[in-house]
Amino acid sequence: MTISMYQASVPVLIRTLSNLVGILQKGATYAETKKIDPNVLVNSRLFPDMLPLSKQVQIASDIAKRGVAQLAGIEAPKFEDNETTFPELIDRIKKTISFLETVKSEQIDGTEEKTITLPMREQTLTFTGMPFLMYFVTPNVYFHVTTAYDILRHCGVEIGKIDYLGKPN
């Protein structure tokens, strides 16, 4: 059995982002229950030179939607990166998931060799489709979702591995 580019991207990203919604909801509930200003958690960092929770969520959203859009050859929705609350961050992830759900397998399958050019700050990265998905998009989304998880766990939110992985289907 082979796995298609679509199967390796859209459903995987939707699951990961859906799990992030649950993690953020637990963060919001924790702040309310413990009477902690939610802004403390939303602006928390693991280390002073790292980005805060809000930015980790925004980047996970951006990489997922832009990565899929680049493979599909379509425009990704643009978000303003101005979310400052748990409800706004959750809404952003839900909008990202809604966009991903509009992408069809026909738009992604067969893009293994598609050239993807990614302008960065001082350089341009060039990939073919499969390495772009496997070595750039997916690990980046996992990194930022994991960091968001770690920030909330470090702040005392009672989340565990199953929150990150999601319940088996």
**Mean pLDDT for the stretch of residues 111-133:** 95
The tens digit of pLDDT for each residue in 60-93 reads: 999 999 999 999 999 999 999 999 999 999 999 9
Which is more confidently placed, 167 or 71?
71
pLDDT value of residue 169: 74
pLDDT 10s digits, 7-58: 999 999 999 999 999 999 999 999 999 999 999 999 999 999 999 999 999 9
Q: What is the three-class DSSP state of 101?
A: helix
Total domains in the chain come to 1
Instruction: Read off the CATH number of the domain in which 76 is found.
Output: 1.20.120.450
Q: How far apart are CA 53 and CA 44, in angstroms?
A: 6
Q: Which residue has the tokens 């990961």?
A: 16
Residue 133: give the domain boundaries. 5-165
Q: Which residue has the tokens 């998880």?
A: 149
Residue 72 near residue 13, CB atoms below 8 Å: no
| CA pair distance 55, 60, nearest whole angstrom | 8
pLDDT in tens, 135-165: 999 999 999 999 999 999 999 999 999 999 9
Number of neighbours of residue 130 by Cβ within 10 angstroms: 15
The pLDDT of residue 1 is: 73
HSE-CB of 67 using CA atoms within 13 angstroms: 31
Question: What separation in angstroms does the CA of 145 have from each of 61, 73, 127?
Answer: 9, 25, 23
